[in-house]
């Protein structure tokens, strides 16, 4: 990034305050100091994409761990007024719209009146890897760090909806968080799911990540978890659930976050899709984490290539590794299985006998036979990148 | 078995250390403070108008992070900001801003 970032201590005054929630306004003064910019509850080495609203990417070395720590998990907001202060005594989760009985639930209600569900699931931004698209496309220029693997704990959405009672003829459920647009003309960030999808067992409203509360920048106090689907649906700082008698047509569903309506969600580079549908389930991906791209390795020294693989809700069955640029492939050993929504680590022992440059590739296959393409698939929004990734190492 | 006192002290110190001071808890209220950051754009004709208009809804790194877009690409972005998000801009503003973006953050060809 070529912009010079500056910083001047911290905000002095808070922004808008309503019902126990403060939405952050950012100080507009240019600083003279030139220190690293650190976001609250986050590691200082996260990669800064944008500052208002914050978008922070996780550097690849954190993915050597099976579980991504809370302070290393990526951050992605759309609208500049994000919650910076929440009073749990005042915050409520509201369920309204086409229901028999409107609900207003406190954090204690969520924790005490409903059964708790816990599982590990990959969270991945729709645009993860967008900066590698060719031809390039505008949007958040993520490398591959807009993802993480987190153990989420919370309440099943279907239990809450059962409490409210969905009226007959309902079509969709809309989810709105505490964040708001900087001007009234900016469409509020609201996402929707069909009633059928919303009633699936594994969709939860999470109040826990990795056993602790949610970090503020990842959606404190609760966020929606739609495991297997892209994170655009995982509405942060969720506070309103509205049952809709017809299809919800807000900007972030009807116009944004859409993919070409075909099996590969792809069209020729630079063209426009005829028909689009809302983005949904994640495709299969694998990444090589260790060694890093460009790393030096000693000739004849036994090493282990390590990476991760995941797919949208179907377990990874195989990971194949090539150390000769795709000419031959061998199976990697898979690590601990934490369920079908988690990523799995893979390991491949390697002892390069001859010096030189080697191209390492990895390709995952899931339990329903889905895999990854050799060439990247293109769409105008830069979504769903999943080509077989390559790294190069120098042996000598 | 009794835990030795020095161990308790070390554990307590570790606990205090592990607590993240960047979020504050006051009763039932959790608060963070966002760092004050104000990225700037590169010099060029129209920089001031672009900075004033494009900083209203988001920081200017939304611009500097983009790949080099063509004139058509930047025109589409500016039109999207006006038509979809309601950026309050005159036709003259749009012309100056698109020119600036194309020359300074555009494809060199």
Domain extents for chain A? 4-76, 86-278, 285-395
A86-278 CATH pick, 3.90.420.10, 3.40.50.2300, 3.30.420.40, 3.40.50.300: 3.90.420.10
What is the rounded average pLDDT of the residues A254-263?
Answer: 98
Model pLDDT, residue B18: 46
Q: Does domain B39-109 have CATH number 3.90.10.10?
A: no
Residue A20 above 90 pLDDT? no
- The interface pTM score, or ipTM, of the predicted complex is 0.91
Q: Which of A2, A11, A39 sits opposite B64 (nearest CB)?
A: A2
Nearest CA in chain A to B41: A3
pLDDT tier for residue B16 given thresholds of 50, 70 and 90: very low
pLDDT tens digits for range A274-307: 999 999 999 999 999 999 999 999 999 999 999 9
Nearest CA in chain B to A132: B67
Model pLDDT, residue A327: 98
Partner A contacted by B86 (CB < 8 A): yes
**A·B CB contacts under 8 A:** 154
Residue A272 above 70 pLDDT? yes
Model pLDDT, residue A16: 61
Domain extents for chain B? 1-37, 39-109
* Cβ–Cβ below 8 Å for B27 and A54: no
Distance from CA of B29 to the nearest CA of A (A): 4
Nearest CA in chain B to A252: B84
Partner A contacted by B18 (CB < 8 A): no
Nearest CA in chain B to A89: B28
Query: Mean pLDDT for chain A?
Result: 93
pLDDT tens digits for range A193-214: 999 999 999 999 999 999 999 9
Model pLDDT, residue A8: 32
Separation of alpha carbons A61 and B109, rounded Å: 37
A285-395 CATH pick, 2.60.40.10, 3.90.1170.50, 2.60.40.650, 3.30.1330.10: 2.60.40.650
Residue A28 above 90 pLDDT? no
Residue B19 above 90 pLDDT? no
pLDDT tier for residue A24 given thresholds of 50, 70 and 90: confident
Distance from CA of B95 to the nearest CA of A (A): 20
pTM of the model: 0.92
Residue B55 above 90 pLDDT? yes
Q: What is the 3-state secondary structure (H, E, C) of chain A?
A: CCCCCCEEEECCCCCEEECCEEECCCCCCCCCCCCCCCCCCCCCCCEEEECCCCEEECCHHHHHCCCCCHHHCCEECCCCECEEEEECCCCCEEEEECECCCEEECHHHHHHHCCEEEEEEEEECCCCCHHHCCCCCCCCCCCCCCEEEEEEEEEEHHHHHHHHCECCCCCEEEEEECCECCCCCCCCCEEEEEHHHHCCCCCEEEEEECCEECCHHHCCCCEEECCCECHHHCCCCEEEEEEECCCCCCHHHHCCCEEECCCCCCCCCCCCCCCEEECCECCCEEEEEECCCCCEECCCCCEEEEEEEECCCCCEEEEEEECCCCCCCEECEECCCCCCCCCEEEEEEECCCCCEEEEEEEEEEECCCCCCCCCCCCCCCCCCCCCCCEEEEEEC
Model pLDDT, residue B17: 44
Residue A218 above 80 pLDDT? yes
Query: Which residues of B fall within a CB distance of 8 Å from A140?
Result: 65
């Amino acid at each position: 990034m070529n912009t010079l970032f500056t910083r001047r201590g911290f905000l002095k005054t808070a922004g808008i305050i309503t019902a126990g929630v403060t939405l952050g306004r950012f100080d507009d003064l240019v600083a003279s100091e030139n220190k690293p910019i650190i976001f609250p509850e986050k590691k200082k080495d996260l990669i800064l994409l944008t500052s208002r609203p914050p978008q922070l990417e996780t550097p690849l070395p954190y993915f050597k761990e099976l579980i991504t720590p809370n302070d290393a998990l990526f951050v992605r907001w759309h609208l500049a007024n994000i919650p910076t202060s929440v009073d749990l005594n005042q915050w409520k989760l509201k369920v309204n719209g086409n229901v028999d009985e409107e609900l207003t639930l406190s954090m204690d209600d969520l924790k005490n009146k409903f059964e708790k569900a816990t599982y590990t699931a990959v969270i991945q931004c729709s645009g993860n890897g967008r900066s590698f698209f060719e031809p390039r496309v505008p949007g958040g220029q993520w490398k591959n760090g807009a993802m993480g693997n987190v153990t989420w704990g919370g309440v099943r959405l279907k239990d809450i909806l059962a409490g409210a009672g969905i009226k007959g003829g309902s079509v969709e459920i809309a989810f709105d968080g505490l964040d708001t647009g900087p001007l009234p003309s900016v469409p509020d960030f609201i996402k929707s799911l069909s009633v059928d999808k919303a009633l699936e067992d594994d969709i939860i409203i999470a109040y826990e990540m990795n056993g602790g509360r949610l970090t503020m920048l990842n959606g404190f106090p609760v966020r929606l978890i739609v495991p297997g689907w892209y994170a655009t649906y995982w509405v942060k700082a969720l506070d309103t659930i509205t049952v809709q008698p017809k299809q919800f047509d807000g900007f972030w569903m009807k116009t944004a976050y859409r993919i070409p309506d075909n099996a590969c969600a792809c069209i020729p580079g630079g063209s426009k899709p005829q028909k689009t549908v809302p983005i949904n389930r994640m495709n299969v991906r694998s990444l090589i984490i260790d060694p890093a791209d460009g790393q030096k390795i000693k000739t004849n020294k036994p090493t282990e290539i390590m990476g991760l693989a995941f797919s949208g809700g179907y377990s990874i069955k195989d990971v194949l590794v090539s150390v000769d640029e795709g000419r031959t492939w061998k199976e990697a050993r898979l690590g601990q299985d934490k369920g079908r929504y988690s990523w799995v680590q893979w390991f491949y022992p390697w002892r390069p006998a001859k010096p030189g440059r080697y191209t390492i590739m990895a390709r995952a296959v899931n339990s329903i036979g889905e895999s990854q393409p050799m060439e990247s698939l293109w769409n105008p929004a830069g979504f769903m990148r999943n080509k077989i990734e390559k790294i190069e190492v120098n042996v000598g | 078995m009794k835990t030795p006192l020095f161990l308790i002290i070390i554990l307590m110190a570790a606990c205090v250390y592990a607590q993240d001071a960047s979020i504050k808890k006051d009763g039932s209220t959790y608060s963070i403070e966002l760092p004050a950051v104000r990225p700037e754009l590169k010099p060029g004709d129209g920089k001031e108008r672009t900075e004033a208009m494009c900083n209203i809804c988001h920081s200017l790194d939304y611009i500097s992070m983009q790949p080099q877009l063509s004139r058509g690409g930047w025109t589409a972005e500016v039109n999207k900001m006006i038509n979809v998000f309601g950026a309050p801009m005159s036709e003259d503003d749009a012309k100056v801003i698109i020119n600036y973006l194309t020359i300074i953050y555009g494809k060199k060809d």
